[in-house]
Amino acid sequence: MDWGLKNRIASIIKPTNNRGVMLAVDHGYFLGPTEKLEAPKRTISPLLKYCDSLMVTRGIVRTSVDPNFPVPIVLRVSGGSSIIGADLSNEEITTSVKDAVRINASALAMSIFVGAKYEHDSLVNLGHLVNDAEEYGLPVLAVTAVGKELEKRDARYLSLSCRIAAEFGAHIVKTYYCENFEKVVNSCPVPVIIAGGPKIPERDALALTYNGIRAGAAGVDMGRNIWQSQYPIPMIRAVRAIVHSNYNLNQAYELFQKLCKEYPVKNNPSQGFPGKMQQKPQQNQQRPQNKPQQNQQRPPQKPQQNQQPQQKPQQNQP
């Protein structure tokens, strides 16, 4: 392994503790405009400074990622099927290594489908990609995808998939967390990072992160459980606290709850969505409108003055 390849891996998995927080935003290559990723730039920009690397496609990196921000890019280079297609395992290499070099990617990522209809194609593609990428000193991250068959996510299957990925030359492997995850990690000679998977409650996602790190994972590649959260910045900061600051589950969740108070605008990483922020001025405009009405009622209708205290609590509630 030459210097350039080692250096790029170190930008993704930090050598200080051999861990990393990768933000996954490559979902559109088969899911299209999934929830909260309809406008990628608005979702990605405020989260960049909290991740160690960004997993993304070339289309989104060129249109939605600030080129002046020094975040390592893990470039998704496989695809060819969609969520409405017959078989998600039917993928090919869709982005050349030369284009990845032009983008200044720090690593390349592709999916393998062990046990699926197109297992052979995906594994051969992995071997070819490693051959081509190593000529440029680029590491390859293999994603042990299961397509639509989520029931495959057990230690026996994932150990098999991760080991095969490493045998074909992958430098990092991304897989799902499962029971007996130590078996998966111990049978794979290269770093293993865990996928966040579909959206689950925040505490559950933090538990997944904590349990994975305890079992030996080198970090996480989390997407939907961060940017589909009502509080994406507190969520990624809590995940980061587990990975890099050795927070336990309770400490991380307490941090998440505390940070939520600092980010009161829900469902909006940038806190710049006008529909949310225009509500407070409307509340302030209502206060002065009530006072003239009170002054007009006093002279002609003195008996109604006793009813005025009912309005005061409303003035203090905004």
Among 82, 80, 37, which residue's Cα sits nearest to residue 55? 37
Which pLDDT score, from 0 to 100, does residue 315 have? Answer: 41
Phi and psi, residue 85, nearest 5°: -80, 175
Which pLDDT score, from 0 to 100, does residue 265 have? Answer: 63
- Helix 202-214, helix 249-260: angle, nearest 10: 140
Cα–Cα distance between 312 and 305 in angstroms, integer? 12
pLDDT, tens only, 55-77: 999 999 999 999 999 999 999 99
Report the percent of the chain where pLDDT is more than 70: 81
Q: Is the pLDDT of residue 303 over 50?
A: no
Cα–Cα distance between 173 and 187 in angstroms, integer? 12
Which pLDDT score, from 0 to 100, does residue 111 have? Answer: 96
141 vs 281 pLDDT, higher one: 141
Q: What is the largest CA-CA distance in the chain?
A: 91
pLDDT, tens only, 173-214: 999 999 999 999 999 999 999 999 999 999 999 999 999 999
**Which residues have a Cβ under 8 Å from the Cβ of 186 and sit 6 or more positions away?**
216
Which pLDDT score, from 0 to 100, does residue 288 have? Answer: 43
State the average pLDDT over residues 136-161.
86
pLDDT, tens only, 241-294: 999 999 999 999 999 999 999 886 666 544 443 333 333 444 444 444 444 444
Judge whether 53 and 11 are in contact, CB under 8 Å: yes
Tokens for 177?
Answer: 């967390």
pTM of the complete model = 0.81
Residues labelled as active-site residues: 174
In the chain, the domains with their CATH numbers are 3-260 (3.20.20.70), 281-315 (no CATH)
**Which residues have a Cβ under 8 Å from the Cβ of 300 and sit 6 or more positions away?**
none
pLDDT, tens only, 110-132: 999 999 999 999 999 999 999 99
